[in-house]
Structure 1
Amino acid sequence: MDMYIRVKRSKSTYFIRCKPSDKIIGIKQKLEEIIDQPVSDQRFVLPGTGEILEHIKTLADQKVDSDAVVALTLRKDVNEFEEVNIVGPNDFYQSRDADDANW
C-alpha cells in the first residue's frame, strides 16, 4: 500500500510517495534527486521525539505512518549536522492583536 511522508526543512516541504516497507536509504535517494544533496549528507529526524531514522530500517520498523512529518537536516561538516529547523505557518503571519495592526 502506498503512503506519503512529509519531509520538512526550514521553509520547504517535500511530499515523498513510498511504502511502509521502504528503507530510509531509498527515501533519501529519492530526495537526493530533488535537492541535489548526497544521501550521506542527509539526516532524517522525527520532530516529536528527536529520534534519528536509521538507513537500513524500513518506515514500518521505525513506526513512521502515512502523512508523518520527518525533519531533514544536512551535514555541516564531517561530524556535525545542522539543527532541526522547521518553519511553521505562525512564523509567517503576524497576529492582528500583536501590535493592534489594522489590516
Structure 2
Amino acid sequence: MCEPTEKILDIKQKLNDLVDQPVNNQRLILFATGEVLEDSKSLAEQKVENDAVVALTLRKDDSEFEDVNIARPNDFYQSRDSDGGNW
C-alpha cells in the first residue's frame, strides 16, 4: 500500500524488501502513459491515481532495463457466451 505523498524512491526501498533488488536497479513506469516515474517526486506530483497500474522493471545484466509487458486476463482466457454456455 502506498500513499499519494510517498516519493518514488521510498516506494523503491519498500520494493527492495520484496524483490531483493537495489533501488538503482528498479524502474517504475506508469502503464497508462509509459512515463518513467521520477525518484524525487511523489505519486501525487506525478499524477498517479488510485488503482493506476504501475509496472516495475528491473535492470538486466547488460545494464538495460526489461521491457514492460503486461498481459490482461482476457488475453489468456476465453469468456463464455452471454447465455453462459459455450466458451
Greater relative CO, 1 or 2 (CA 8 Å, sep 6+): 1
Alignment of 1:1-20 (within 5 A): 17-20=1-4
Structure 1 outlier segments of 4+, above 2 Å: 94-97
Which segments of 5 or more consecutive residues in structure 2 lack a partner in the other structure?
none
Give the number of aligned pairs. 83
Pick aligned residue for 1:53 from 17, 37, 44: 37
Q: Which has the higher strand share?
A: 1
Alignment of 1:1-103 (within 5 A): 17-77=1-61, 79-94=63-78
1:31 alignment partner AA: L
Using the alignment, how far apart are the partners of 1:23 and 1:96 within structure 2? 43
Using the alignment, how far apart are the partners of 1:81 and 1:87 within structure 2? 18
Q: Percent identity?
A: 66
Give, in angstroms, the shift of residue 79 of structure 1: 3.9
Q: Classify the secondary structure of the residue corresponding to 1:81.
A: coil
TM-score normalised by structure 2 residue count: 0.81
Q: Write the deviation string for residues 16-72 of structure 1: whole angstroms up to 9, x where unpaired.
A: x12111000111111111111111111011112111000010001100111111011
User: Which structure would you say has the larger Rg?
Assistant: 2
Which segments of 5 or more consecutive residues in structure 1 lack a partner in the other structure?
1-16
